[in-house]
Amino acid sequence: MAGRRPVDERARRARVIRAVRTTSELEGARSTDATRADQNAYVRGEIDIEQLGARVRARYKLA
């Protein structure tokens, strides 16, 4: 599990997640509350991008 991240890394992660959410909304979709919780954990540095992807894939049985 990732440790605490510097503020600039957290800001970068937040920008990435905002962009993902915006793209989804423009396509007419919205992340589930569970996915948003995982995305927030990623922004906080509690999980890394691989773990985020694995959680989402497992939730929707994509892998």
Mean pLDDT per 10-residue interval, the chain, length 63 residues:
72 97 96 97 97 96 86
Residue type (1 letter), 40: N
CA atoms within 13 A on the CB side of 37: 5
Confidence (pLDDT) at 6? 73
End-to-end CA distance of the chain: 21
Residue 30 is predicted with a pLDDT of 93
Instruction: State the pTM of this model.
Output: 0.84
